[in-house]
Structure 1
């Protein structure tokens, strides 16, 4: 009997899974699935223990879903991507695998691993087939008139939408049941992988495909129409909170697009609805860039002259930022949200990143690494793109002289201090008028606050940063 193996990675779902769908086309083939844990590689990539927990819970869910289709899921473990090549070779030999199906990953290490797998299995008479699955449109399919990757987002977005209007990517159904569903006695307990895991808030981020689909359907009703007015207010539940499902492949971007357009058929033209869709296109933009410019995977700045910026090394200020003890309430509340939930509101990601780079003049790569070590929705392309945008080192990034004032940012997006008070209980007694500058209130009223003084003076820090960037740019002129 022919045996087809589906190699699951960041595609932990049975609906709209190109590799799984292709493996199940033949009714006569035996289909099995495999997930390979690589703790050493995950550590190199700074995977958050909370993301490891989310992946583990998602694996338990997808195992049950596959079992109902008559497909057994195996988990194997080796240290890193290099070792996974030999592991796959042995697994295919042991299980008599004739064909391997997998969905592409676009990061450099992952692409090198997949190329080695294809070469090795070809030599062992195993046919290998890969698929573009984690994007609406594959990398290299949205190019300028000169057949180059766009370096500015807005024209990329326009060209992207034009492609969608010409024809939507297909959303594939889950496979049919193969012969018979597996019984409870046939489902092997999954061995936990050897990597730190931390508990997650399962009310905010319930694991599993059905939970993701339910959240998507709920959001695409009324919340998506309110999104433009609510998305920048961290005290409101105004975002989709789907990023963790997209990062781990529990949900596909095609499912998001089709559900949105089913609920709002004119979503590609409706400015109100398109605001959220455009965020999905930002996700595509950063992943397309990763393929066009692999140096981004190696944490190199896109804008070459910014390599000359002389960053400050201050482990105490870095630790204060990481712990939410900078003395700037909106920054500290955001960092404590990240540390507690493994997730941070997108507006706050911009504010905290700007503070680290533009107020403290600390290398953006320190922030990029720390975010990855905490984020439930950690994704190299999106995280790198966001950090390089904030640091003015990336493509289509904020200009280097655009420096957020953390106090006015807090006043603008959390005016009453509702979000701040939730995450900074030591400031709950501070009146609304002073919530963004609590030490002014404490001084006027002779109160003692158990909250740090600002670790840097913003105006002075701004001048220091401008000077550092201008000096770097002159070195290139």
Structure 2
């Protein structure tokens, strides 16, 4: 008997571990619930709810293929290897199949699982299904990791044109008569995620709708939070309900010259997928950043202010800056925040308030439905100027100018700040009782972040 072990790959299609397992013999499936680990990783209650819904959709699809799904609860990853081996011995499992993950604890879990399975003479087969290109394979001519996004992107595009197979794996072979798997209940606090797709079919429909209606204008509309102009596929990508490869494959079907840079909106969206890729490759090759470290070692010399009252005000959307406050309330009320606003809020926390980016990273992860460790960490270190190819330390967003530029009529602000409903568009963007004055905050940040002045900018 073969066993496929599901993680953040909650889909039937483009799932190499599932596909290969089903090819090699009768297959059963397993999923480990790890409440303590998820709490340590700050998984948001709304993402737990989405995970539960996605698991139940997956369970139904596996049942149609004649595959039983066994759900086992353990506290954390360290408890998995022993339980996995015991399950394999009890059920006469000869081989385990799984798709690899990029985070430090997940990699450690797989190394330990490999060891105990090998000792028990059970095969362990890992596949890569999260990235377009295997982490570690996009390197300079000297064999080093790219330290700047643009040359990394160009190398990716060359590989995607010439050598990478972008065809998603097909659905697996049917294993037997349909069965009915039991409902799955995750034993953690949850917040309703029903506004978001949770099945493969819904995710695919969302992707096609975005490609058909929005992607050609993406480069012009993506920065305006009042518009519904982004794909909003982040939650599905984070849990593996859909894969990055599927996104690029179907985008290529609609825009065959995409990889040659001949379709502006689609190319800009592809760049966003490649930023996701970039942060994953960095995570694998620099595991210390998965443990709270700055990517740039000079950043350890930044003296953070870390004022608790300021942080509470930022969390609650009470900074006095309308765009920042509306964005934080969007996060708190919906579990999601527009990407432009993530940059504005992260810049405000780290540069205006001089609060350690790790505080913001944790808060976002605790609330985001699309919480993804590599992307969240990469985005926060980018905003804080501590990361790989981060924004320069002297680039400090002016929240009032950002507001005027990207929400000119105040449509977004008025959704989340009811008290600003009657204010005209000119006055709407001005701060009211701000917790810090912009000019002062900017000068203070420039001084504090000047420890990064000598950082090197290498093209790889």
Paired with 2:3 and 2:326, the residues of 1 have a C-alpha distance of 46
CA deviation vs aligned residue, 1:387-423 (integer Å, no higher than 9, x gap): 0000000111111010000111000000000000001
Partner of 2:358: 365
Aligned residue among 35, 60, 64 for 2:60: 64
Query: SS of the residue aligned with 1:325?
Result: coil
**1:271, distance to aligned residue in structure 2 (A):** 4.1
Q: Does 1:235 align with 2:253?
A: no
Query: SS of the residue aligned with 1:220?
Result: helix
**1:306, distance to aligned residue in structure 2 (A):** 1.0
Query: SS of the residue aligned with 1:240?
Result: coil
CA deviation vs aligned residue, 1:90-120 (integer Å, no higher than 9, x gap): 2112222111000001111111110000110
Paired with 1:151 and 1:290, the residues of 2 have a C-alpha distance of 12
Aligned residue among 161, 175, 183 for 1:189: 183
Partner of 1:260: 251
Partner of 2:6: 8
Q: Does 1:175 align with 2:172?
A: yes
Paired with 1:38 and 1:361, the residues of 2 have a C-alpha distance of 35
Aligned residue among 438, 444, 455 for 1:464: 444
Residues 91-100 or 47-56, more deviating: 91-100
Kindly tell me: are residues 471 and 153 of structure 1, through their superposed partners in 2, closer, same or farther at Cα, counting changes over 3 Å? closer
Partner of 1:423: 416
Aligned residue among 11, 15, 18 for 1:17: 15
Is residue 10–residue 249 contact of structure 1 (8 Å, CA) maintained in 2?
Answer: yes
Q: What does 1:112-261 align with in structure 2 at a 5 Å threshold? A: 112-167=108-163, 168-182=165-179, 186-190=180-184, 192-200=185-193, 202-203=194-195, 205-261=196-252
Query: SS of the residue aligned with 1:136?
Result: coil
Gaps of 5+ in 1: 440-452
CA deviation vs aligned residue, 1:136-156 (integer Å, no higher than 9, x gap): 000111100110000000000
Partner of 2:385: 392
Paired with 1:438 and 1:473, the residues of 2 have a C-alpha distance of 31
Is residue 24–residue 175 contact of structure 1 (8 Å, CA) maintained in 2?
Answer: yes
CA deviation vs aligned residue, 1:367-387 (integer Å, no higher than 9, x gap): 000000011111111001100
Aligned residue among 30, 46, 49 for 1:50: 46
**1:161, distance to aligned residue in structure 2 (A):** 0.1
Kindly tell me: are residues 147 and 425 of structure 1, through their superposed partners in 2, closer, same or farther at Cα, counting changes over 3 Å? same
**1:206, distance to aligned residue in structure 2 (A):** 2.1
Paired with 1:103 and 1:10, the residues of 2 have a C-alpha distance of 8
**1:85, distance to aligned residue in structure 2 (A):** 1.4
CA deviation vs aligned residue, 1:311-349 (integer Å, no higher than 9, x gap): 012111101101111110100111111111111110000
Partner of 1:449: none
**1:170, distance to aligned residue in structure 2 (A):** 3.0
Paired with 2:208 and 2:246, the residues of 1 have a C-alpha distance of 10
Question: How much is the aligned-residue C-alpha RMSD, in angstroms?
Answer: 1.4
Query: SS of the residue aligned with 2:304?
Result: coil
Q: Does 1:433 align with 2:430?
A: no
Deviating above 4 A after TM superposition, structure 1's stretches of 4 or more consecutive aligned residues are 471-476
Query: SS of the residue aligned with 2:342?
Result: helix
Paired with 2:214 and 2:454, the residues of 1 have a C-alpha distance of 47
Query: SS of the residue aligned with 2:387?
Result: coil
Paired with 1:171 and 1:332, the residues of 2 have a C-alpha distance of 41
Q: Give the TM-score of the pair, scaled to structure 2.
A: 0.96
Is residue 306–residue 473 contact of structure 1 (8 Å, CA) maintained in 2?
Answer: no
Query: SS of the residue aligned with 2:258?
Result: coil
Kindly tell me: are residues 248 and 181 of structure 1, through their superposed partners in 2, closer, same or farther at Cα, counting changes over 3 Å? same
Paired with 2:174 and 2:451, the residues of 1 have a C-alpha distance of 64
**1:174, distance to aligned residue in structure 2 (A):** 0.8
Q: Give the TM-score of the pair, scaled to structure 1.
A: 0.93
Paired with 2:93 and 2:156, the residues of 1 have a C-alpha distance of 38
Paired with 2:42 and 2:54, the residues of 1 have a C-alpha distance of 20
Paired with 2:431 and 2:434, the residues of 1 have a C-alpha distance of 10
**1:82, distance to aligned residue in structure 2 (A):** 0.3
Paired with 1:469 and 1:217, the residues of 2 have a C-alpha distance of 43
Q: Does 1:304 align with 2:297?
A: yes
Is residue 305–residue 473 contact of structure 1 (8 Å, CA) maintained in 2?
Answer: no
Is residue 310–residue 472 contact of structure 1 (8 Å, CA) maintained in 2?
Answer: no
**1:473, distance to aligned residue in structure 2 (A):** 5.3
CA deviation vs aligned residue, 1:201-223 (integer Å, no higher than 9, x gap): x23x1211110000011111131
Query: SS of the residue aligned with 1:241?
Result: coil
Aligned residue among 368, 372, 379 for 1:375: 368
